[in-house]
Amino acid sequence: MRFVGTLANARLKVAVVILCGGRSSRMGRDKATVELGGRRLLDLMKDLAERVGDAVILSGSGADYDGLHDDEPGLGPLGGLKTAVRALQRAQPECTHFLVLPIDMPFLKAATLGNLIARGAQARAACFTESELPLLIQNNEGVAETLDELLRSEEARGRSVGAFIRAVGGVRLAPPEVSGTFEFRNLNTPRELEEARNECENVGR
């Protein structure tokens, strides 16, 4: 089931950007290829993206997967997002929104993302109070210009996702009651990965 099709505004066209170009320094290896429940995080997040989006694009590349290379490497998630936005505006100009997902949030549910899209579609940007990602962004010329401006900041915090949300006047929404805070957990370290694997095994018993 694709959740975009259940929205009141059927004209929405959502392109999903999966951020997988980070250094994964705390994990010690590429998080995109780390396995949970016998599947790579990359594959889990792509499956989720395909359930809610009309197009899916990878921001970043690895040894055994190929996505967009940042136009300006080393600028963090906003650098990857700017490259993806520019590419999608050229290739998918009909897209009305971008939905930005991290590579390391495998417990997210399609229904939760559908809720964000439905409730945040009228805002320039929208996320949940629990986390700045996932993030829904309206597609307009101002998006790339704002990203360009923020990326010129000399301070790292000026180039953050939170800085972008503030710059465009984005909104933070309460998550749906059916979602738990565990949905917004990031797997950043080997310990967090091991805990997630143990939980998956316990659920399967």
- HEC profile for the chain? CCCHHHCCCCCCCEEEEEECCCCCCCCCCCHHHCEECCEEHHHHHHHHHHHHCCEEEEECCECCECCECCCCCCCHHHHHHHHHHHHHHHHCCCCCEEEEEECCCCCCCHHHHHHHHHHHCCCCEEEECCEEEEEEEECCHHHHHHHHHHHCCCCHHHHCHHHHHHHCCCEEECCCCCCCHHHHCCCCCHHHHHHHHHHHHHHHC
Q: What is the pLDDT of residues 50-109, one digit of tens each?
A: 999 999 999 998 878 889 998 888 889 999 999 999 999 999 999 999 999 999 999 999
In the chain the domains, ranked by start, together with CATH numbers, are 4-204 (3.90.550.10)
Tokens 């590429």 belong to 30
Q: What is the pLDDT of residue 101?
A: 98
pLDDT of 1 over the 70 cut: no
Express as a percent the part of the chain with pLDDT over 70. 92
Q: How confident is the model at residue 164 (pLDDT cuts 50, 70, 90)?
A: very high
- The predicted model scores a pTM of 0.91
Task: Locate 83 and state its tokens.
Answer: 């490259």
Phi and psi at 40, nearest 5°, equal: -70, 150
From CA 170, how far away is CA 123, in angstroms rounded? Answer: 6
The terminus-to-terminus CA distance of the chain in angstroms comes to: 26
The mean predicted confidence, pLDDT, of the chain is 89
